[in-house]
């Protein structure tokens, strides 16, 4: 495998990490207005992701930075082309990030309600737009011969991309619910289980529809044969179906593993469907950005490979340790989040 392809895979891994990890904290955020009955339970839900959301979000920062370094043309076209979409993502992420530190800083119920909703709306909005944005890379956007986007915001919406957005929202909400079944206790745990059951069929149905449609789009619009994309799509569909089963069987760790796999399958299927292109042009297929025409020079990729080889395992090690430290369930009868 040459370095360009390796970096295409690594970018997919970074985005997968982002979907796997921030996926459940977005999900917890979306459930904030619905699950907790009182302020204490709301705090418990915040605390369930409190120690880890920031580390999870760094996967996004790193995915963005790595795309900039390894595929400058992809980064430039994607970020300028999806301008309004990314503007909205930034808006949602900003209000959400701040809600974590600020909500607890006043007793006023109105203040706390505002930041709770900021987190929920931010989580929902960011998930929806990430889904739509990634689906557009494959579905194709107007890209001209100088590799620049020349469409409008409304070009980003069509049946497929909207289903993608909704599927990502549903999968993340489901993923968040299964996470909560591992991290809460008492009444809140009971309601988290209910939410997981309630969301499971919807997420599996939307997820399966999106993954299957992705393979169709890959064949029709990106000149792919069905096989390679079909593999991650089927794994994703199987994982989501198994997640439904495990949720009903109350096998919580397994259910969470499967929703996580479902979140990863979104990226894996999209990236497998994209390769060797990174952004399909709907204006003229020849204008599409490819791995080779958007990649950095060999030396940059070499340097970045060494950096990734050293630091990615380290990051996994200490992030894993963080999850181990905060494995205890939050909230509960004592009412004191410890």
Q: Is 31 in the site for another protein (CB under 8 A)?
A: no
Q: Return the residues of window 148-187 that contact another protein according to CB under 8 A.
A: 148-150
Residue 261: CB minimum distance to another protein, A: 23
Dihedral (CA of 227, 8, 77, 207) sign: positive
User: CB of residue 147 vs another protein: minimum separation in angstroms?
Assistant: 8
**Which of 106, 145, 220, 292 is close enough to bind another protein by CB under 8 A?**
106
Structure tokens at 107: 């007793």
Measured distance CA(81)–CA(156) in Å, rounded: 10
Asked if 60 interacts with another protein (CB under 8 A), we say yes
Which helix or strand (DSSP H or E) is residue 289 part of?
Answer: strand 289-290
Dist CA 60 CA 48 (whole Å):
20
94 touches another protein by CB under 8 A:
yes
Looking at residues 195 to 254 of the shown chain, list those that interact with another protein (rule: CB under 8 A). none
| Interface pick for another protein out of 6, 33, 40, 58 (rule CB under 8 A) | 58
- Min CB(184)–another protein separation in Å: 14
The stretch among 23-31, 73-81, 127-135, 252-260 that binds another protein (CB under 8 A) is 73-81
* Binding of another protein by 51 (CB under 8 A): yes
Binding region for another protein (CB under 8 A) out of 21-29, 53-61, 230-238, 272-280: 53-61
Q: How far is the CB of 310 from another protein (least distance, A)?
A: 8
Q: Please state the φ and ψ torsions of residue 278, each to the nearest 5 degrees.
A: -120, -25
Measured CA to CA in angstroms, residue 337 lies from 6, 45, 100, 179, 331 at distances of 44, 10, 15, 17, 5
- The owner of tokens 């064949």 is 219
Q: Which of 65, 186, 228, 276 binds another protein (CB under 8 A)?
A: 65
236 near 269, Cβ under 8 Å? yes
Residues 266-325 that bind another protein (CB under 8 A): 296-297, 299-300, 303-304, 307-308, 311-312, 315, 318-319, 322, 325
Q: Which residues have CB under 8 Å from 293's CB, separation 6+?
A: 73, 147
Are 171 and 207 a contacting pair, CB within 8 Å?
A: yes
What are 278's two structure tokens?
């990174």
Q: Which of 5, 6, 33, 104 binds another protein (CB under 8 A)?
A: 104
């Amino acid at each position: 495998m040459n370095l360009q392809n390796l970096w295409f895979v690594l970018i997919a891994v970074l985005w997968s990490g982002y979907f796997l990890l921030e996926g459940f904290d977005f999900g917890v955020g979306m459930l904030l207005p619905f699950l907790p009955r009182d302020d204490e339970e709301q705090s418990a839900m915040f605390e369930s992701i409190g120690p880890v959301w920031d580390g999870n979000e760094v996967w996004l920062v790193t995915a963005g930075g790595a795309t900039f370094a390894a595929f400058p043309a992809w980064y430039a076209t994607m970020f300028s082309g999806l301008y309004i979409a990314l503007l909205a993502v930034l808006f949602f992420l900003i209000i959400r990030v701040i809600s974590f530190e600020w909500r607890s800083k006043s007793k006023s119920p109105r203040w706390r309600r505002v930041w709770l909703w900021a987190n929920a709306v931010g989580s929902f909005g960011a998930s929806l737009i990430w889904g739509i944005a990634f689906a557009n890379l494959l579905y194709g956007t107007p890209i001209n011969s100088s590799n620049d986007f020349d469409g409008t915001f409304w070009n980003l919406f069509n049946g497929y991309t909207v289903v993608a957005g909704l599927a990502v929202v549903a999968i993340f909400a489901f993923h968040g619910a299964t996470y909560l079944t591992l991290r809460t206790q008492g009444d809140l745990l009971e309601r988290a289980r209910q939410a997981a059951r309630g969301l499971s069929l919807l997420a599996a149905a939307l997820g399966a529809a999106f993954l299957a449609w992705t393979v169709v789009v890959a064949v029709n619009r990106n000149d792919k044969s069905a096989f390679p994309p079909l593999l991650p799509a089927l794994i994703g569909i199987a994982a989501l179906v198994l997640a439904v089963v495990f949720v009903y069987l109350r096998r919580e760790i397994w259910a969470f593993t499967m929703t996580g796999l479902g979140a990863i399958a979104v990226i894996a299927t999209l990236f497998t469907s994209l390769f060797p292109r990174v952004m399909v042009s709907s204006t003229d297929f020849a204008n599409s950005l490819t791995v080779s025409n958007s990649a950095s020079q060999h030396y940059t990729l070499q340097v970045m490979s060494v950096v990734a080889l050293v630091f990615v395992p380290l990051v996994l090690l200490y992030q894993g340790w963080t999850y181990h430290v905060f494995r205890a369930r939050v909230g509960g009868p004592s009412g004191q989040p410890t």
